[in-house]
Amino acid sequence: MKNENLRGFLLLMSLCFLLSAIVALFRGEVEISKCCGIISFIFIKL
C-alpha cells in the first residue's frame, strides 16, 4: 500500500515538473525547461 502512495506521489511530481517545463518554454527559458524536463523524466523512470 505504501509503495502505491509513493508511486502516485512520484507521478504527481513528474507532472508538476512537466508543467513547469512547458511554462518555462512558453516564457522562452529554454535552460529551465530542459532541467524540468530531465527531472520529470527521472521521476517517471523511478
As a whole number of angstroms, the distance between CA 18 and CA 14 comes to 6
Query: Quick one: 7 exposed, middle or buried, by C-beta within 10 A (0-12, 13-18, 19+)?
Result: exposed
Note the pLDDT tens digit of each residue in 2-40. Answer: 778 888 888 888 888 888 988 988 998 888 888 888 888
Q: What is the pTM of this model?
A: 0.70
Decide if 18 contacts 36 (C-beta within 8 A).
yes
pLDDT at 44: 77
The length of the chain is: 46
Q: How confident is the model at residue 1 (pLDDT cuts 50, 70, 90)?
A: low
Domain positions in the chain are: 2-45
Which three cell numbers, joined as nine digits, stand for 28? 522562452
As a whole number of angstroms, the distance between CA 46 and CA 44 comes to 6
